[in-house]
Structure 1
Amino acid sequence: MTSRNKLDQWSYLAERGLADTFECSWVETPDYRAVVTKLRVEEETLACDLNQARRWYQPYAEEIVVWVGEQSPGWVTMFTVSGLFPWPAIDSLLRPGGRVYHLSYYADEVSEPVYFDGSEWAEDISADHWDRPRQEGAGLTGSSDLAREMNFYLAALAYRTGGFIDDTWFTTPGLLCRIPDGAWPRA
């Protein structure tokens, strides 16, 4: 058996049927349960891993469902399983000195990652974020332009947040959260 290229993260999503849309945030915070509390969804959760959560995957649905789990020590992942994640909820997670990254892909278009640097949102992420994935060829990994672009961004985020999308990413315990209507204004 050959080992899998760790930079080919997009294929993990595609193999599990999660590549029609992609919206994910990485939040610098020590506890994913604190994130769930700030999302105002304590009564609307189900303990599961992302493999189990993908049963609720419905691209472009009205209902917003997010899986929240630990990415690595000090980082939490919020993967949107259904609907479009409301930006006011993400803004509620921001804290002085803390970092947040957000990457999305909808309707055949990848939005470059945006970044909260501890004081403000920025679309221009500093060049040093891209050095390692560029050196390792992350942008050359994948069978399509979309796969190569997503693998490049996902590698940059993995190096910053300490976790790649791999089998462990899908088996990490977390909470599936249904964000109730009216909990957050629609962006």
Structure 2
Amino acid sequence: MTYGEQWALLSARGFDDMFAGTWIEGDDPDEIARILGSDPAAAVPCGLDEAMREYEPYAFKELVWLGEHAPGWTHAVTIAGPRPRTDLLAASGRRFVQVVWEPHGLGVHDLYYSDGVTAGRQSPVAIAEPGWPFHEYVEGLTRSRPGLIDVFTGGPAKPVGSLGLWLDNWLILAGRVSGRLIDERYLDATRRLYRIPI
């Protein structure tokens, strides 16, 4: 895998204005949707291209495209509105990681996580610090690289330089924790679009 490959797949599907992906322990998407406050009976089966017709970052509605990711894991991708509430997931005792890219805000957010017992946030500049629950998955991931050039344009953040490295680090870590990186087959699958009350 090369630097930027995970983000390139998501960017090609239209997530440039915001991406919030939440990898959640568990094989039952409806159960996870209920934890988030959704009514599974109202969910709509669809592919990602169809779901992206509803793509509306910062909307006053919350829609997630949610379904099986890897054995034992479900993935929720925010299509409209804010990222799913991690406090609800933490209260359920499930492991999860949540990656957020927001070019009109912080760029790369801290990683929101729970190991099933402890929930918290990890800064991308502290990825290599020992002692946080998912430290075992960071081999080869660093906060910086020799020769890495940061470009600050004053406009929306771009996933280049340190921001690009940090975003890809979080996406790779999420893949390692859940047992599967994002790939075209994942993005071409049919999952369900759930409405979550705000």
What is the TM-score with the length of structure 2 in the denominator? 0.75
2:171 to 122, 141, 154: 154
SS state of the match for residue 80, structure 1? strand
Q: Structure 2, unaligned stretches of length 5 or more?
A: 123-131, 149-157
Provide the secondary structure at the position in 2 that maps to 1:93: helix
Q: Quick check: 1:19 aligned with 2:16?
A: yes
Q: Give 1:144's aligned residue.
A: 160
Q: 1:129 aligns with which of 133, 137, 153?
A: 137
Q: Find 1:33's aligned residue among 30, 35, 42.
A: 30
Partner of 2:55: 57
Partners of 1:86 and 1:143 in 2: CA distance = 22
Q: 1:92 aligns with which of 71, 88, 96?
A: 88
CA distance in 2 between partners of 1:163 and 1:7 (Å): 16
Distance 2:20 2:109 in 1: 10
Give the root-mean-square deviation of aligned CA atoms: 2.5
Out of 175, 181, 187, the residue aligned to residue 192 of structure 2 is 175
Structure 2 CA distance for aligned equivalents of residues 37 and 132 of structure 1: 36
The Cα shift of 1:6 comes to: 8.4
Structure 1: gaps of 5 or more residues? none
- The residue aligned with 1:8 is 5
Q: Residues 7 and 63 of structure 1: is their aligned pair in 2 closer, same or farther, counting only changes over 3 Å?
A: same
Offset, 1:8: 0.8
Structure 2 counterpart of 1:130, which letter?
V
Residue 108 of structure 1: how far off its partner (Å): 4.5
Please give the secondary structure, in 2, of the residue aligned with 1:33: helix
- Contact 1:32 1:76 (8 Å CA) reproduced: yes
Q: Which residue number corresponds to residue 125 of structure 2? A: none
SS of 2:64's partner is strand
Is the contact between residue 46 and residue 192 of structure 2 (CA under 8 Å) also seen in structure 1?
yes
Letter in 1 for 2:113: Y
Deviation (angstroms), 1:41: 2.1
SS class of match (1:115) = strand
CA offset at residue 42 of structure 1? 2.2
Normalising by structure 1, we get a TM-score of 0.79
State the one-letter code of the partner of 2:138: W
Whether the 8 Å contact between 1:7 and 1:155 is mirrored in structure 2 is: no
Match of 1:84, as an amino acid? Answer: P
